[in-house]
């Protein structure tokens, strides 16, 4: 079985960005790690409000929609799960032994 991610965390850069979706220029602004506005078609006021992002787009730094790379990737390891289950069973056996001896 191939390793597959259990948890995939994606971190986005904060702030505005312009990108191309086919023939249309799109706009979005990342407010924090979970909140963003867009993507939506760009309006004239967007490039006036965010001139630095517009210049970066025109210069080609972010000319296409780029996938956001994951910061961390957690992989489920069957050996770790088996060790956890064994430790859990041992703790339960110890608790059961204490209950039988004390009552």
Q: Determine the Cα–Cα distance for residues 103 and 101; give it in Å rounded to an integer.
A: 6
Q: Does residue 31 contact residue 75 with C-beta atoms inside 8 Å?
A: no
Residue 92: the pLDDT is 94
pLDDT tens digits for range 60-69? 754 444 455 5
Strand ranges in the chain using DSSP code E only, listed in sequence order:
5-10, 15-21, 24-30, 36-41, 70-75
Per the confidence metrics, is the pTM higher than 0.85?
Answer: no
């Amino acid at each position: 079985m191939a390793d597959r991610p259990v948890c995939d965390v994606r971190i986005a850069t904060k702030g505005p960005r312009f990108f191309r979706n086919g023939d249309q220029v799109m706009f979005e602004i990342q407010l924090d790690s979970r909140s963003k506005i867009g993507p939506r078609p760009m309006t004239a006021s967007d490039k006036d409000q965010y001139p630095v992002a517009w210049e970066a787009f025109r210069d080609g730094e972010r000319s296409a929609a780029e996938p956001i790379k994951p910061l961390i990737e957690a992989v489920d390891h069957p050996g770790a799960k088996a060790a956890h289950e064994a430790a859990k069973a041992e703790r339960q056996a110890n608790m059961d032994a204490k209950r039988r001896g004390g009552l």
